[in-house]
Structures are given as structure tokens and as C-alpha cells.
Structure 1
């Protein structure tokens, strides 16, 4: 039953995301005295090729020194070594 409820919530999330994207895609801006679309082409709204490249060649995110230290500490803790163990 829990799996069904989670699946239903995911479906609702997708529907709300679609409604939001429809709203954004239909956005206009005022240019002079007339309203013009914010996105003139679909590629201005969603760059399919760029999204594919992100998946095929993911960039390594650059962590700040503070985040690197936090990640290192988390890894040590996950491996069963405490912070005091070094």
C-alpha cells in the first residue's frame, strides 16, 4: 500500500511540474506596447542536446574546501572511523 501511495505522489508531482512548465512556456513580456513570448523557440526553453551532454559527460562539481572537508569527515564516519581517529 505504501508503494502505491508513493507512486501516486510521484504522479501528482509530475502533473504539477507539467502545469508549471506550461505556465512558464506560455509566459510573455511587454515589449513596447505589445506582449511577446519570453521563449521564441523550444530550444530557448529546453536545450535537449545540452541535457544529453550533461548525462554523457558529467562535469565533476567543484567543492569548496569546507565542503571537501565535510565530505571527507562523512566518508570516515561512514567507514566506521571516528573523527578522533583521524
Structure 2
């Protein structure tokens, strides 16, 4: 608020409500700061692969989409269900032989 007249006309109850709202807004800002710090820590995560003799450290997330899949989260929020494409099973030698015998 910047208008001094509005401030002067404010009741103690209204002042208390505005102060509570301001404190809650600050709390939300602090949460966002801490969430950013957590995300920074998470994105720098590394994992060990390989053997003890030849350890290799690689990042856990190699693509941004691995870290934050916005499209998936959007669909979740909007209630859109993704349908996984069912692929036919790979033809084995036995299945190929059976098809050949039947033709």
C-alpha cells in the first residue's frame, strides 16, 4: 500500500489480516528459494558406474527432460491419460519356422 489515507483508515483487524497475508507471501517466497536450492542439488547428482578398479562418474540426468518432464506433468494436471503403444512381440526363430511350415 502506498496511499497514506488508506493506511490511516485501516482498522486494526484489517491491519492484522494484511500482516498475516504478507507473512504468508514471504513464506511462499522462502519455499520457492528452498525448492530452487533443492533442484540445484538434485540436478548436480552423479552416480558411479563401472568397477572399483575403473570407476566412472556420470551425471544421473543426461537430458533436461529426464530431470523435468513438463509435458508429462501438464498431462497429469489436465487429467490426460497417455496410452502406451503396445508393440507386437518380436518374432522368434520358432515363430518364423511355424509360419513358414503353415504356408
Q: TM-score, normalised by structure 1?
A: 0.63
- In the TM superposition, what are the counterparts of 1:61-80 in structure 2 within 5 Å? none
The aligned counterpart of 2:36 is: 18
Unpaired runs of at least 5, structure 2: 1-18, 82-103
Asked if 1:35 corresponds to 2:48, the answer is no
Aligned partners of 1:17, 1:34: CA distance in 2, in Å? 29
Larger deviation: 31-40 or 9-18? 31-40
SS in 1 for 2:62: coil
| Cα offset, 1:5, TM superposition | 0.5
Aligned partners of 1:2, 1:27: CA distance in 2, in Å? 38
| Cα offset, 1:54, TM superposition | 1.1
Aligned-residue Cα RMSD (Å) equals 1.4
The aligned counterpart of 1:7 is: 25
Larger radius of gyration: 2
What is the aligned length?
Answer: 59
Unpaired runs of at least 5, structure 1: 60-86
Aligned partners of 1:10, 1:41: CA distance in 2, in Å? 29
Aligned partners of 1:5, 1:57: CA distance in 2, in Å? 33
| Cα offset, 1:48, TM superposition | 0.9
Q: TM-score, normalised by structure 2?
A: 0.53
Point out 4+ residue stretches in structure 1 off by more than 4 angstroms. none
